[in-house]
Structure 1
Amino acid sequence: MSYLTLDEYQRKWIFTHQSMPVPDADLEAIKPMTQLRASQLWQENISVQSPDADRFSSSDWPMKESNWKETVSWMSEWESDEADLPEEVLAFIDWQDDVTVYFCYEKYNVIETKWSIFKKHWKNFLFYDDGPVLIGRRRKEALWFDSKGNVKLGHRS
């Protein structure tokens, strides 16, 4: 099995928190991966040797400045009553709603969902903002969030 149930997921509360609960229908589309599956996806798409963003090496694609076009702030939108991702992010990521995305917190903690679900509930995902990377299946565009409230917009190499 490649997924945990949401009840088994140690960070389930970020999707059920009373201040921003995700509706049950959308919860079904949020699929935390098992540690084994998350590790495989991380090693194939993010880094072979580094377990998290704090330990990326210079050979990991996220550390190559040439892969990043722009850095924008996400914090003001996160703190606002508006639900949308920052305008620059939505302009940069021009994916259909049904594109499968992977929100990669670290090597053993990856969530699979659809772009539509991530867009709608991105604030929940960013309760933990310690360097997660969002990638899409068979897509080159990537987002790299940091705890200072910024997101890098770029392309995987």
Structure 2
Amino acid sequence: MAYTSLDSFSKNWIFKREDPKVTTQDLAEIRLLDEQGAASVWRDYISDNQIHPDHFTEQDWPNKAELQVMKVAWEKRWDSTEEALPEEVLTHVTTWGEEAKVFFCCHNELVFEMPWGVFKRTWKAFLFLDNGPILVGRKKSQAVQFHSDGMVTMLFRR
């Protein structure tokens, strides 16, 4: 997989804020996939028909009711001083180890890769990009989609 510098990301300020703070160590483990890598992950894990979550139809797996476990609010937690993701999210992906590779997929040209432990610590920075991104784990069936209405959907990938 090929990567591009986070400095080339137009919204790289999300990783440079004091609140939420992303440590230098965590920042070093957040990788921005190049366009070809992002397109490949998007096609393999999210959709080979749609390029953005806004375009999902009822035929796309994230919108299929039978694959949706539950929806809970994330925004209240994001606005609080509480650092952890909502408990329901952590429970849904409880089998993911700290080093499990995860992809935060915004659209077919914007995908970040990092260990699950890094995402758990830095999730608040990523949710400045809350227009439907989906978090998936490599070789994992669970997925999580964050919505701009402040809700998060726990899913199973097909």
TM-score, reference length from structure 2: 0.96
2:91 maps to 91
Q: Is 1:145 the counterpart of 2:140 in the alignment? A: no
**In the alignment, does 2:122 pair up with 1:121?**
yes
Matches within 5 A, 1:53-132: 53-94=53-94, 95-132=96-133
CA distance in 2 between counterparts of 1:80 and 1:21 reads: 14
Deviations 1:39-96 (A, max 9, x none): 1110111111111111012221111111011101101100000100001111111111
The unaligned stretches of length 5 or more in structure 2 are none
Say which SS state the counterpart of residue 3 (structure 2) adopts: coil
| Gapped regions of structure 1 (runs ≥ 5) | none
Aligned counterpart, 1:50: 50
Q: How far apart, CA to CA, are the structure 2 residues paired with 1:10 and 1:113?
A: 19
- Letter paired with 2:38: A
- Write out the 4+ residue segments of structure 1 that deviate beyond 3 Å after TM superposition: none
Q: Secondary structure at the match of 1:28?
A: helix
SS for the counterpart of 1:143 is strand
TM-score with structure 1 setting the length: 0.96
Name the % identity: 37
The whole-number CA distance in structure 1 between the counterparts of 2:123 and 2:83 is 8
Q: What amino acid does structure 2 have at the position aligned with 1:156?
A: R
Q: Greater CA deviation, 91-100 or 132-141?
A: 91-100
For residues 2 and 10 of structure 1, the distance between their equivalents in structure 2, rounded to whole angstroms, comes to 18
User: How many residues get paired?
Assistant: 157
- Structure 2 counterpart of 1:37: 37
